[in-house]
Each structure stands twice: as C-alpha cells, then as structure tokens.
Copies of this chain bind each other. A is one copy, B any other.
Amino acid sequence: MALKTAEQYYESLRQMSPTAYVLGEKVENVVDHPLIKGQIAGVAQTFALAHDPEGKELLVGRSSLSGEEVSRFVKLYESVDDLLVKVKMLKFLSQRTGTCYMRCTGMDAINATGVVTYDVDKKYGTNYRERFLEHLKYIQKNDLVVWSGVTDVKGDRSLRPSAQTDPDMYLHVVDRTKDGIVVRGAKAHQSGSLCAHEGLILPTREMREADKDYAVCFATPTDAEGIIHVYGRGTLEERALEGVDLGNVEYSKFCPLVIFDNVFVPWGRVFLCGEYEFAGELVRTFGDYHRHSHGGCKCGVGDVLVGAAAAIAEYNGVPDASHVNAKLVEMIKTAETMYGCCIAASVEAKKSESGIYLVDSILANTSKLYEGKEYHEVIRLLVEIAGGLVADLPSEKDLSNPEIGHFIEKYMKGAADVPTEDRMRMFRLIEKLAFETRDIVSNIHGGGSPEAHRMTLLRDTDLEPRKKLARKLAGIKEKE
C-alpha cells in the first residue's frame, strides 16, 4: 500500500487522537474543525493528484530503499533530477491550492536527517542512519504525512539554549532510559501538524558543548502522549468559522504551537542525541532544502497572484491598461526569479557522502530572499491592481439578504459580462491571498528569517577568490 488515496488519508487521520486546543477549547474531532479542515483538504490533494496522470509524473518517484513507487514527499533526493522534479511538484500543487499543503517540511527534514545521520555515524560509529532508514521505510510503506518540528520558541533571543533562564525554551532531552529518551520543550509555527501522522523533530540552530542535551533529532507520532497542539490565530477566522466569504473556497492553513510535555521517544526513533557539533549541519541542511521548497511553492502561488490580478483587472473593465501590464510584469519577474533560482539550485546540487544531493545553498537562499522581501511588493501590486475593494467588501450574507441583496448585486457589479458574484469572489480570493497572516508571514519568516538567509549568503560566498580577481585586474601584485 504505497500510495494512499485521499479517502484513505482522511480515514487514517480519523484514527488518530491528538491532543489539540483551538481558541481556548479542547477539540476532539480535528479533521472536521472549520479552522483545521482547509489545510487537511490541501494535504489531501497531495494524495488525490498522485493518482492523476499529470500529477503522478511529478508526485510519485521510486524508493531506492524498497524499489517501490512512493510519494516524493517521503523520498530521498538521489539525483539532480529529483530536486528539479521537487521544485516542479511544489509549483504544481501550489497552483492548485493557492496555499500550504505542508508536506514539504517533512520531506526536507527526512532528507536533512538522511544526510547528517551518515556523517554522525562516520565520526562516532553510531547507527543513526540505519535506524533512520528503517523508520523511513515504515513511512514510505504507509505513505504517511510527516511534519518537521524545527522552530523552537527560543525565549530570550540573545541567549544560547543552555543559557536561558528557563531551560525548556529549546526542546531538549530531560531523561535517558534504557528504552529511550524523554524530551521537553515547544516548537512554534508547526505548519499543519494536525494534518500529519508523524513528526520528525530537529534542532533549530547550531549548538555548543554546553547545549548538548538540545542536540536531539527524533521521530514521534503526532498523537504521542505529552504532545499538545495549540492552534495559533490568524486573520479571517470568522470566515472559516462561518464558512462564508472564504476567498479560497477549499484550502487554508494553520500552524499550531506544539508542546512536548515530557514526551517519551524509544531509541529506535532517535537519530541524534548529544552530538552537538552536528546540530548546525542538520538545521542548515534542512534550511537550505526548505528555502528551495519555498521557491517552488511560492512561484506556484505567484501564478495564482498573477492570475488573480489579471482576472480582477478584466472584471473591473481595465484588462489592458498600460500600468496594469507594467505591474503584471513586475509580479511575473519576482515569481520567475524564485523559480529560476531554485531550478538553478537543483542543477548545481552536489552529492553528499550519504548519497543524498545537497542543493546549492547560495541559490536556494537567494530565492528565499526574494520571497522574504520582493514578494511582499508582488502582493502590494496585486492590491494596487485590484483596487480598494480588497478591503470593505460586503458579505455574501449581505448579497443573500432579501432586503439589501439586490443593492449589493447592483453596486458591486464591474464589467458588464461578469456576474457580480464572480467579481466578489475574486476580490475575496485576493483578500485571502494578500492578508492571510500564515501565508504572508511565512513568506517572510518561513524557512528561517531573512537575516538567516543573508548570513548564509555571506558565509557560503568565498570572498577571497573574488578579491583576488579584483586585485589581478587592478594590477596589484600578490604578496609572496
């Protein structure tokens, strides 16, 4: 049973019993919760489209572990082509959901763990890699959805994990037993954790010797004892709660805070434990992969942004205004830049000793920098093109009110051949695309904050040979 159907996915989720709180209340049935179900619907598309001829080309690969067909979301990056297909797969899915379907986090965490367990074993003679591949076979065999727990809550940002007043501000090992470890801490921004069967937990930064207990990587079921998912608020919740004026009528996103309250993890699911000098490599490898994922994903969303802008210009009656065209070009430019840099980061990938390919970090981080900054301008351009009704649009409920519905129908009309309802729907979609906090803040802070990407660019660019080129052209003699 390598490739689940969407129905099987839903079924499997219903069999889980995670501890979840939403807006102060414990929720038993997360699958149907109005603030949760929109993202489950997005993840379901990753299953549904794997059975679609066009989607299958991108979504399904062959596992080198089992020789079977598996979802690419649980497959290792074993070639440049795997990385190229990954970018295209994410673009394809984002075009169809317009928001997050969350599985890239697990995919990137799986690969980063695959790379680093090899390196740790090589140095210490540990058997993390074997454990990990065993676990991965299980994931592949059951076509499970994996979330990656990376971002710790961090407490005081100026202090290292072991220097915090409260030692739990970074997740860490609080006990070691014969059977496993016990961990405590919390991971924020856990995109769609409740859509997933399994979590793969990674450190969020490099560690030093004093931070040893924080250098831990492991797998855990989403509904393990002691794990509590607390829904994080976003904009437009009223719409989701009532199911009207949704904008994106099927898909949405949520990102809980996930608390680990003394969670037990058996040794077979522990892939790093104390080898602190590998924490940095693990999170950096994940980070580069994940910025690469963002590029694929967000250029797909970018196509939706461009399409929405072009559509609303048409609905407003000004499809060919020169200033609209000029703005569309700027939007296209940024979306294609993210795509181009990630395609290039795939082509320039290098094979690690583990056999897994590492994307080019400079190109992947360059792509992410555009998402973090220029993409925000893309969204502004969308709003500029659309006009003021991105805000202040009356509700569908007004449209269907018998006393005033006809006024809304009349006055929200744009171009003659466009039904008012269609125009209102497009404005709602644009409102969602431009003002849904989870997506917009993720553009900026997802996959690490822009300063992290900038630091990566600086760290991974070797300035010495560049200085040498300049000195040579200037006629400066090199010192002996």
Using a CB–CB distance below 8 Å, which chain A residues touch chain B?
Answer: 21, 23-26, 84, 95-98, 151, 153, 155-159, 165-166, 168-169, 186, 188-189, 228, 230-238, 241, 245-251, 254-257, 259, 261, 303-304, 306-308, 310-311, 314, 316-318, 322-323, 325-326, 328-329, 332-333, 336-337, 339-341, 343-345, 347-348, 362-363, 366-367, 369-370, 372-373, 376-377, 380, 383-384, 387-398, 400-401, 403-404, 407-408, 410-416, 422, 425-426, 428-429, 431, 435, 437-438, 440-442, 444-446, 449-451, 454, 457-458, 461, 463, 465-476
Contacts and interface: CB of A to CB of B under 8 A. Distances in A.
A249 B474 CA distance: 6
28 contacts: A21-B403, A24-B397, A24-B400, A151-B388, A156-B416, A158-B415, A189-B388, A228-B404, A233-B392, A249-B474, A257-B408, A259-B404, A261-B407, A304-B470, A304-B473, A306-B466, A307-B468, A308-B474, A339-B344, A341-B344, A343-B344, A377-B377, A384-B444, A388-B441, A388-B446, A422-B471, A426-B474, A435-B440
A230 B394 CA distance: 7
Shortest 7 CB-CB contacts between residues of A and residues of B: A24-B397, A232-B392, A307-B466, A156-B317, A249-B475, A343-B344, A391-B441
Given A24-B400, A372-B384, A376-B376, 18 more contacts: A95-B469, A153-B412, A155-B413, A169-B411, A188-B392, A230-B398, A248-B474, A255-B392, A259-B404, A306-B461, A307-B465, A308-B467, A310-B467, A326-B326, A329-B458, A340-B341, A392-B441, A429-B473
A94 B444 CA distance: 27
Given A84-B347, A476-B422, A437 B470 contact: no
Number of copies: 4
A340 B363 contact: yes
A431 B304 CA distance: 24
Contacts of A461: 306, 328, 332
A191 to B, nearest CB: 9
A454 B329 contact: yes
A425 B474 contact: yes
A235 to B, nearest CB: 4
A318 B154 CA distance: 12
A320 B73 CA distance: 41
A436 B434 CA distance: 11
Contacts of A247: 474
Contacts of A345: 340
